A and B are shown apart, each in its own frame.
Chain A
């Protein structure tokens, strides 16, 4: 009954159980860490241009280029179980035809903010990596990375609509979102109402605006 294999099996089995239970405890601490994120979003420049989806395409589409300014405080989201925070800004607008109760939503900008404990996993060049690691000054948790301040930021993605038309769209809003990726446990997003210690984002929505007509060539 007590040969090497049995001993190895029971040690390994016990190890996995202990590791799993410990992981669950760590994941549960997330719920006791306060989250009070806030953000201010402002549109700074709007432009709609014509273009093609890719080089070899003959299709003409309209693209909206929405420049914006963002001030956000997401510092609470960085805890010992945070691997990265994925911050993204979406543009949201209702269906063009009245009577169709549907919304359209598209990401115009996003950013991966790693906790220093996950810096080494980031896919960046060696020089940028050195700078990033230096910025943490040996800390494993860096709440100050959650303070964002962007001025007249160019969007990463120029958005369009399946109908290929987006000029003159009315009632467009920008919204700030985040997704916390843990080292172990549940993935969490910004919520619409307060849940326990987690508060909904204060602000984080821009004033509604309309997209301009296509820029005419002179």
Chain B
């Protein structure tokens, strides 16, 4: 730490480097968001309702454009229920009508019944704008670290502590 104060040029370079990593990660995320037209182009699976296809911690890539066809029955979609902030990954099993106003019903492959119970009060069906993307790509397990971090907040403290310790102990 003391050495940093003695070499301000090197310290500045390190700070800039760190900022570069952060901003390029942010740019890639937002770029992917623009390409896929989805507010959250990559999601981590949080529940087991689509097992055995998706386990907790699996990473899903979303696509939210209807270039060739409407979002249709059989697609696995991620949707947000009105006034709830938890995205849900389930399969579309019924579709009545076409276009923006089509009524969609979803169900988890592993659940015995459809999602009517999960929807907001008085809401029987989803419409297209409730959906933030259809699942197109899959990578297993990689997202599990985010689940660990959000379920065991002390892990964050430990991680920060370890990183700080290394920063102090590290010598050139």
A residues with CB within 8 A of B: 1, 3, 5, 23, 53, 83-84, 86, 88, 90, 95, 101-107, 110, 112, 114, 118, 121-123, 157, 159, 161-162, 177, 179, 181-187, 189
Contacts and interface: CB of A to CB of B under 8 A. Distances in A.
A217 to B, nearest CB: 28
Interface string B34-77: 00000000000000100111010000000000000000111110
| 9 smallest beta-carbon distances between A and B, as pairs | A121-B52, A106-B94, A107-B93, A102-B98, A181-B53, A105-B73, A102-B97, A104-B96, A105-B95
Contacts of A5: 166, 170
Contacts of B171: 3
- Tell me if B's interface is mostly helix, strand, loop or mixed: loop
Contacts of A114: 52
Nearest to B117: A54
Contacts of A112: 52-53, 109
Contact of B138 (A121, A159, A182): A182
A184 B138 contact: yes
Interface of B: 48, 51-53, 55, 72-76, 91, 93-98, 102-103, 109-110, 116, 124-125, 135-140, 166, 170-172
A123 B52 contact: yes
Contact of B109 (A86, A95, A101, A105): A86
Nearest to A179: B74
